Homo-oligomer: A and B are copies of this chain.
């Protein structure tokens, strides 16, 4: 049995807060637990926020902004984008410098802690996960999660931006099926699946940023989630896009 346990009562977070300490105060972690922390909580304690009053929109940002958009937000989106992959009124899909393809380069104004403030993705979500993991102790794994849209299907689901302590991908290559045939190509993104599961507790409203997953037997590992981004050369859908 796998359990998804909310970590209750976390306060609004600010730069420099000891998030790991706050988690340890609220839950008795056990070896084998996976601690899934919403990206926004990580970014806030890491100070990855921008006050829009400090931002001047470039011409490119003004051109991208649709009616109702704040061009200063688009300016931050462009700064966080390596490539604008697609755009249409009200929606910019970027490849970030991390290699993530997501709406608005992960820049988010909702629940940012201030009306004219946006939250950015962590600079290095795998490092963020490792830092939390170091502070949370041995035998525990950490995932920094976010929710992304995807081509072909409506709606967002959880993904792992960063991870520490577990192998994000589990390969069945070389295993055999019930008929003895080798399984050729099956690689599961278990870190994304754990992030999606945690998302059932977190909710898009962000009320529960930290979830403990207990009872899932992960493979210990040291590779981060960055290693699971599909390289553009291997990606059959990577065509198109423009530099910001």
Contact = CB atoms under 8 A, between A and B. Distances in A.
Interface of A: 1-6, 12, 86, 88, 90-91, 93, 100-101, 103, 109-115, 147, 150-159, 168-170, 172, 175, 177-181, 183, 185-190, 192-194, 196-197, 199-201, 203-206, 215-216, 228-230, 235-240
B178 A113 contact: yes
Report copies per complex. 2
Given A86-B237, A197-B200, A199-B188, A177 B151 contact: no
7 tightest A-B CB contacts, nearest first: A155-B189, A197-B197, A196-B196, A151-B237, A86-B236, A2-B4, A101-B152
Contacts of A188: 147, 155-157, 199, 203-204
Contacts of A183: 110, 204-205
A196 B205 CA distance: 20
Contacts of A5: 1
A101 to B, nearest CB: 4
Contacts of A189: 153-157
A79 to B, nearest CB: 21
